[in-house]
Structures are given as C-alpha cells and as structure tokens.
C-alpha cells in the first residue's frame, strides 16, 4: 500500500515534515525572506491554542494589553546581557517615508533621528511602562500578557519551527518579592505543561535551563522540552525569573508597606506558533497530519456516499440532520465542529483529503447505513482502510468518549516513544557513542541522554561543538538526585537531559 506522504519519516524526516504541511494545507513560505503565511487550516489550530491558553492565563489573573511594535534603539542599550542576545538578529527601521525616483522606482526617505527596532521581545518597552504604572506595593503583583508578532532575523528558516516573524504570546509580571516572582514563573511553566499534555497530547520534560542556555538577562529560565518522532528535542516554551535585572534597567520601583523604595522582581514567559510544528512532528504519520481532538478545529467529517442518483438526496438530507445533531453536543466546554463534505468528487480522493488534514473521526454514510441505522467510523489514529461499523445510536452516545480515547491514545503513543528513548548514560565513551553513531533511519537520532553533569560551561560548549548536543534541561523530577559527573567525576552533580535539538 502506498502512503499519502512522500518521502516517509524513515526515508527523510525533514522533507516528510514539509510534505505533511503541504498536504494538510497548513502554511507556506512567503517571498519575504524567512517569513511564512499561515493558511486557514493551520491558523485554526493556532486560534484554538490561543483560546485555551488565554482562558488559562485569565484564571491566573493575567490581563491582556498591547504594547508598541517598535522599540527605540536606546531602550535596547540599557540591558547589556539582553543586547548580546537580541541585537545581532533584528529588523531595523531607519526611514519613515518613500520617495519616487524619476524612473518610478521607490527609495527610502526621511531618515529617523533614532533607528527603531522591530520588537524581538518586549521586556524593555513593557518595562518602561511598568515603571510608570507601579508606584506602591498596592500596584503589585502586576500580570500582563500580549498576543503579538515579533521579529528575529533568521538565516535558515523552517515553517513553524524557525521563522523571522513569529506569532506568540508574551507574559510579563512584576512582584514585591523574589519568592513570589519565582513562584509565578514556575506556575506559568506548569500552566504550559498542563496545556501541552492535555490539549496537544504531547509528553514533556520540564525543568531549568543551564547557565549557557538561559534567556539573555534572566536569573533562571524554566523550560518544557518534548521529543519529536526523530528523537530530536524541541523547546516548547519558556518562563523566565528575571530577578531585579530588568527592574533595574527599566527603573521599576515601588514603595513597600514601610515606605521604603525597592526594585520589583519580574518574570516573562512565552509560547509561539512553534507549538504547531511540535504538534505536526509528534503525532503525524506517513499519511499526513494527525490532530488531537481537543485542539482540532474540526473533530468529525461526514462523507456521504452519493454515487447512486436515486438515493443521493436522501443520503444528503440524512447527513445534514446528523451534522446538526452532532454539532449540538459539547466536547470539553466547546461545541463539536462537524464538516459535511458534499463536494462532487471521487470518494477515495475525498477520504484521503481528510486523512491528510488530520481530522480525528471520519464517518461514511450511504443508503445501506441509513437502512440499518448504522455508520462506518474511521479514526485517524488507526490505519486508513480500517472501518468500524457502529449503530447510529451507540455512535451518538459515545462520540465524545471515542474522541477522548483518540486523545489519550495519541498521548500514550508519544509518551511510550519518549520513555523508550530516554537513555541513562553513565560514562563519557558511551555518551559519545550514543550521540555520534548514526541511526538506521536517515536523519533520526538515538534519543535523549540522562546523565550526571557538573554544568561546567566550557565543557558544555565543547560538547555542543563536537556533537551538536546541548543540555535541554535540569529536570524538576530529578532535583534531589545527585551523582558523579560522567565527564569530570565531580561529585554531587545534578542529573540533566542532553539531546540534539531543533
């Protein structure tokens, strides 16, 4: 049997990824260097992510606001470490008008006194406004989020995973104490974790970044890391405890209950449309996209069998009734979304188009099914040709449970794969063999390593140079588990996760 996607994952994983995106019509490259267009099917996934996350943020008393796209150059200069991280890859606006040449061509005109940076992240501009909003301890905590676009000039780009322009949310909070700010950063990481596990059905490792992998200007960066099917790591989102660093460079001070002036403690955190890339790489197969029901824009597609002219109208009318019945059902707080595909095209082609788009359940209904009051159910997490006959009544009564089962199955499959390839490695030679040896599958890695590591930055740099392997995180789960560094033999070293990463 031929698969819908060529090449398959085993044949060429990166190219398979591009082809899945194309076949599901999720996104495409734009003529603007490094930028992408998110097409309706792809954007519907982002909209669902936004809705759910936004609800969760608001439950933590985070309020939405909006800050300017442009940041004056002088703002960026205020935070030295931040500059190192962001100044070298950003879009610079230098003029504010165009002038027409005699030949009709346009050239930049009206140079700005001070160049403007298109925000790569907004700590410095939001910090400026926080410094005006915060006067007293009564103004704290302040918890703000914005849904926005940011720009980081990227040379090698890949749809959803690495683009110059990124859609994201960035949360920024300010607190009266270091403890409260640090707890906030962790609370947000846990919110992200819940969202990713429960809605995207992706298992995670959560923990702290090493010194060299931290956000520029942060005291601590918390991260969630997932294993893609090719056993590479994908950073899914980060939450930063910024200490008083940004409060000092932006002058965010408050008067405490005793009347003393103090700098606030701040956090920032974000997730991006990269999560769509993660979703694609975690669950899709050689027939295309596989969407977890809880994040899919459409849970069910109805495929009416209409090749007999005399029964066509009856089948269509039956399917329309079914569609509106199903759309009356609630699935996790939202109404089920059901498409009735009555396009005039071959049944096989039509079926495959929805397979490639990843819709969780496909229903086939013909004259015979109506007669027998049954329905043919096809689930995206089972082989394409597999059909299950269910009575109409049983299907309607259990459809939400069946969707939940698909959701659970996807999570468990991904989790089993992660656990299988999370390998404890106890000496240096084994470590080098694990990461240097080729996997039988082209462009696959062998997994993640769990090892005691002294966190020596020079050594970390060397490992990165030699193996293209980085410390993904120091997992919370192993916090108390210390041992002898596998490279330096230094005792009492923490357990960390090493991997090749996107």
Handedness of CA 364, 368, 371, 376 (dihedral sign): negative
Give 284's DSSP letter. -
Place of tokens 């403690």: 265
Place of tokens 């599958």: 441
Which of residues 43 and 487 has its CB atom nearest to a copy of itself in the complex?
A: 43
Q: How far is CA 411 from the centre of its chain?
A: 15
**Per CB under 8 A, 67 contacts a copy of itself:** yes
> Which residue stretch of 23-31, 180-188, 355-363, 405-413 sits at the interface with a copy of itself (rule: CB under 8 A)?
23-31
**Per CB under 8 A, 433 contacts a copy of itself:** no
Tell me if 217 sits within 8 A of 244, measured CB to CB: no
The token duo for 412 is: 């468990």
Tell me if 281 sits within 8 A of 16, measured CB to CB: no
**Per CB under 8 A, 94 contacts a copy of itself:** yes
Nearest-approach distance from CB 307 to a copy of itself, in angstroms: 20
Q: Single out the residue of 27, 21, 23, 40 nearest to residue 297, CA to CA.
A: 40
Nearest-approach distance from CB 115 to a copy of itself, in angstroms: 5
Nearest-approach distance from CB 327 to a copy of itself, in angstroms: 14
**Per CB under 8 A, 167 contacts a copy of itself:** yes
Which position among 4, 8, 35, 332 is part of the footprint of a copy of itself (CB under 8 A)?
Answer: 35
In terms of phi and psi (left: phi > 0; alpha: psi -120 to 50; beta: otherwise), the region of 345 is beta
Nearest-approach distance from CB 59 to a copy of itself, in angstroms: 14
Kind and range of the H or E element at 18?
A: helix 13-24
Kind and range of the H or E element at 464?
A: helix 457-467
**Per CB under 8 A, 89 contacts a copy of itself:** yes
**Per CB under 8 A, 30 contacts a copy of itself:** yes
Nearest-approach distance from CB 229 to a copy of itself, in angstroms: 26
Which position among 40, 383, 424, 491 is part of the footprint of a copy of itself (CB under 8 A)?
Answer: 40
> How many Cβ atoms are within 10 Å of 58's Cβ, its own excluded?
13
Which position among 6, 14, 47, 412 is part of the footprint of a copy of itself (CB under 8 A)?
Answer: 47
Handedness of CA 446, 450, 452, 454 (dihedral sign): positive
Which of residues 94 and 468 has its CB atom nearest to a copy of itself in the complex?
A: 94
- Partners of 422 in the β-ladder: 448
Separation CA 66–CA 64 (nearest Å): 7
In terms of phi and psi (left: phi > 0; alpha: psi -120 to 50; beta: otherwise), the region of 273 is alpha
Which position among 72, 85, 367, 483 is part of the footprint of a copy of itself (CB under 8 A)?
Answer: 72
> Which residue stretch of 5-13, 94-102, 398-406, 419-427 sits at the interface with a copy of itself (rule: CB under 8 A)?
94-102
**Per CB under 8 A, 391 contacts a copy of itself:** no
Which of residues 46 and 137 has its CB atom nearest to a copy of itself in the complex?
A: 46
Which position among 55, 100, 334, 433 is part of the footprint of a copy of itself (CB under 8 A)?
Answer: 100
Nearest-approach distance from CB 136 to a copy of itself, in angstroms: 13
> Which residue stretch of 99-107, 220-228, 358-366, 443-451 sits at the interface with a copy of itself (rule: CB under 8 A)?
99-107
Separation CA 21–CA 451 (nearest Å): 35
- Residue 7: is the preceding peptide bond cis (ω within 30°)? yes
Number of residues counted as binding a copy of itself (CB under 8 A): 62
**Per CB under 8 A, 130 contacts a copy of itself:** no
> Which residue stretch of 105-113, 228-236, 255-263, 446-454 sits at the interface with a copy of itself (rule: CB under 8 A)?
105-113
**Per CB under 8 A, 352 contacts a copy of itself:** no
Place of tokens 């082609």: 349
Separation CA 175–CA 178 (nearest Å): 7
**Per CB under 8 A, 135 contacts a copy of itself:** no
3-state secondary structure of 207: strand
Which position among 60, 87, 316, 467 is part of the footprint of a copy of itself (CB under 8 A)?
Answer: 87
Which of residues 34 and 293 has its CB atom nearest to a copy of itself in the complex?
A: 34
> Which residue stretch of 109-117, 230-238, 376-384, 476-484 sits at the interface with a copy of itself (rule: CB under 8 A)?
109-117
Which position among 6, 14, 55, 88 is part of the footprint of a copy of itself (CB under 8 A)?
Answer: 88
Burial class (CB in 10 A: 0-12, 13-18, 19+), 80: exposed
Which position among 43, 192, 241, 435 is part of the footprint of a copy of itself (CB under 8 A)?
Answer: 43
Separation CA 144–CA 137 (nearest Å): 17
> How many Cβ atoms are within 10 Å of 461's Cβ, its own excluded?
12
> How many Cβ atoms are within 10 Å of 384's Cβ, its own excluded?
17
Contact residues for a copy of itself, defined by CB under 8 A: 28, 30-32, 35-40, 43-44, 46-47, 63-73, 75-77, 83, 87-98, 100, 104-108, 115-118, 125, 128-129, 132, 144, 148-149, 151, 153, 165, 167
């Amino acid at each position: 049997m031929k698969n819908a996607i060529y090449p398959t994952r085993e044949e060429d994983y990166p190219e398979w990824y591009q082809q899945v995106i194309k076949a599901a019509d999720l996104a495409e490259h734009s003529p603007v260097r490094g930028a992408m267009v998110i097409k309706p099917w792809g954007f519907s996934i982002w909209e669902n992510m936004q809705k759910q996350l936004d609800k969760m943020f608001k439950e933590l008393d985070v309020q939405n606001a909006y800050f300017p796209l442009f940041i004056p150059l002088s703002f960026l200069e205020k935070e030295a470490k931040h500059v190192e991280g962001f100044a070298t890859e950003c879009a610079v606006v230098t003029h504010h008008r165009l002038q027409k040449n005699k030949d009709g061509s346009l050239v930049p005109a009206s140079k700005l006194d001070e160049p403007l940076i298109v925000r790569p992240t907004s700590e410095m501009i939001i910090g400026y406004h926080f410094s005006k909003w915060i006067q007293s301890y009564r103004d704290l905590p302040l918890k703000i989020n914005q849904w926005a676009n940011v720009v980081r000039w990227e040379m090698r780009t890949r749809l959803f995973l690495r683009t110059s322009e990124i859609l994201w949310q960035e949360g920024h909070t300010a607190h009266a104490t270091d403890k409260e700010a640090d707890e906030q950063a962790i609370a947000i990481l846990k919110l992200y974790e819940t969202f990713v596990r429960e809605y995207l059905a992706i298992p995670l490792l959560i923990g702290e970044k090493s010194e060299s992998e931290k956000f520029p200007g942060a005291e601590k960066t918390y991260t969630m890391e997932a294993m893609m099917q090719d056993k590479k790591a994908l950073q899914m989102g980060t939450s930063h405890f910024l200490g008083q660093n940004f409060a000092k460079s932006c002058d965010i001070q408050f008067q405490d209950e005793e009347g003393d002036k103090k700098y606030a403690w701040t956090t920032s955190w974000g997730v991006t449309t990269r999560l769509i890339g993660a979703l694609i790489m975690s669950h899709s197969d050689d027939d295309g996209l596989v969407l977890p029901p809880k994040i899919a824009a459409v849970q069910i597609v109805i495929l009416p069998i209409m090749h007999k002219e005399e029964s066509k109208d009856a089948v269509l009318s039956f399917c329309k009734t079914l569609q509106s019945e199903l759309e009356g059902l609630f699935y996790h707080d939202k109404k089920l979304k059901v498409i009735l595909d009555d396009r005039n095209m071959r049944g096989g082609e039509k079926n495959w188009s929805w397979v490639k788009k990843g819709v969780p359940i496909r229903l086939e209904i013909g004259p015979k099914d109506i007669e027998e009051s049954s329905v043919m159910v096809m689930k995206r997490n089972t082989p394409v040709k597999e059909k299950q006959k269910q009575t109409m009544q049983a299907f309607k009564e259990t459809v939400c449970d069946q969707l939940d089962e698909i959701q659970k199955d996807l999570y468990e499959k991904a989790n089993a794969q992660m656990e299988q390839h999370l390998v404890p490695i106890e000496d240096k030679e084994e470590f080098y063999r694990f990461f240097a040896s080729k996997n039988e599958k082209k462009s696959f890695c062998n997994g993640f390593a769990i090892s005691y590591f002294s966190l020596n930055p020079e050594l970390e740099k060397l490992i990165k140079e030699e193996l293209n392997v980085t410390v993904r995180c120091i997992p919370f789960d192993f916090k108390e588990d210390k041992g002898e560094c596998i490279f330096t033999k230094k005792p009492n070293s923490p357990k960390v996760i090493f991997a090749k990463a996107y």
